[in-house]
Amino acid sequence: MRGILKDKRKALAARGSSGDQRKTLTARGSSGDQRKALAARGSSGDQRKALAARGSSGDQRKALAARESSGSKRETPTEKEEIMHRKTGGSVTGAADKNSERVDYHTYRFSRKERMQITLIYAALAAAIVWLFYRRWQVLLAAVPIYPLYIRHVRNSRAAARRRQLSYDFRTALNSLAVSLRAGRSVENAFPDAARDLKSTIGEEQDMTQEFIWISRQIRVSVPMETVLLDFAGRSGVEDIENFAAVFTTAKRMGGNMAAILRSAADSIGGKIDVEREIETALAAKKMEQKIMTAMPCMIILYMTFASPGFLDDMYTSAFGALVMTGCLLTYALAVWWSGRIVAIEV
């Protein structure tokens, strides 16, 4: 009996231990499930954080894109002025800028209207000379090869007149610069002030006014002042402007007294201009006499043609007469050229 009881107890103990093992296994399984659930929750939390981070980065990207787009839409005042300048064909100051392309004052560009006018004038002049000296319209074809020489002469004359006016206006510009510097303005701010003064004194359409507007615009976009002035001096073809640019560049680098330099340059250029104007005043009567003497041979031929019809017929009907009239025309042309050289005095 005791052995049977011992066996039952052992079986019950084995069953209890197996139950405990089952409980522990169940507990372990449940803890494993809990761990998995916690891990899943952690992973889902991480995923949520990652998604939130992605969303925030996406929002940041959208915000940055919006800022960039708004920044690209916003222009600085200078950019707005440049856009307005391109649309209106005017300068930054609102003026009509006829020097949107930098002008080379060594030469002169004809507009279509000017070229047409010059062509008509040359045709009328050639027809008058052929009628006065030859009375044969076939000779008019000989005037065609001379047309380029006439165009070059007119271009050089207008370029010289433009440079002369540029030199006169440069004296006014230097006086405006000197006044601004004496008032305590910096060199960079003196040029815009001078541009405004030139608009009110010599006019907005003058070449010097447009050049100072362009210089002010280049200084505003941080182009070195020395570079701008040397470029203007090289294009101007005026000795006074070239000398001033060289002195100004040296003084700017070495730290000289800019107001004193400008006053000295203005006085020097002003003295030269005064001498030129005195010479022009003294030669005004001589130039008028030269123009009258230039027209006198043509007036004599015209008078003899109408006062004594047939008196000059031999000059227009024979080969010898054509040769004589050709000699007279060449002598007349040489006299016109030489008289023009006499009254053209440069200082």
Phi, psi (rounded to 5 degrees) for 109: -100, 125
Contacts of 108 (CB under 8 A, 6+ apart): 155, 156, 158, 159, 162
Per-residue pLDDT of 82-98, as tens digits, reads 433 333 333 333 333 44
Q: Which amino acid is at 30?
A: S
Listed residue (103, 145, 147) closest to 123, CA to CA:
147
What is the helix, strand, coil percentage profile of the chain, to 5?
80, 0, 15
Alpha-carbon distances, residue 89 vs 86, 98, 99, 103 (angstroms): 5, 8, 10, 16
Per-residue pLDDT of 308-320, as tens digits, reads 888 888 888 888 9
Q: Extract the tokens encoding 196.
A: 């405004």
Separation of alpha carbons 82 and 75, rounded Å: 10
Per-residue pLDDT of 278-297, as tens digits, reads 888 888 888 898 889 999 99
Alpha-carbon distances, residue 219 vs 6, 199, 213, 222, 335 (angstroms): 114, 19, 10, 5, 51
Residue 73 pLDDT > 50, yes or no? no
Contacts of 252 (CB under 8 A, 6+ apart): 187, 225, 226, 258
Separation of alpha carbons 154 and 161, rounded Å: 11
Q: What is the DSSP letter of 206?
A: S
Residue 327 pLDDT > 60, yes or no? yes
Which pTM was predicted?
0.64
Listed residue (65, 44, 326, 92) closest to 191, CA to CA:
92
Q: CB-hemisphere CA count at 13 Å for 117?
A: 6
**Would you list the DSSP string of 78-144?**
HHHHHHHHHHHTB-TTSSB-TTSSPP-TTS-PPPHHHHHHHHHHHHHHHHHHHHHHT--GGGGGGGT
Range with lowest mean pLDDT among 109-118, 155-164, 270-279, 291-300:
270-279
**Distance from the first to the final alpha carbon of the chain:** 154
Question: Average model confidence (pLDDT) for the chain?
Answer: 75
Separation of alpha carbons 95 and 114, rounded Å: 24
Tell me whether residue 262 is exposed, middle or buried, using C-beta atoms within 10 angstroms of its C-beta: 0 to 12, 13 to 18, 19 or more: buried
According to DSSP, the residues that pair with 90 across neighbouring strands are 96
Grade residue 148 by pLDDT with cuts at 50, 70 and 90.
Answer: very high
| pLDDT score, position 334 | 94
Sequence ranges of the domains in the chain: 112-282
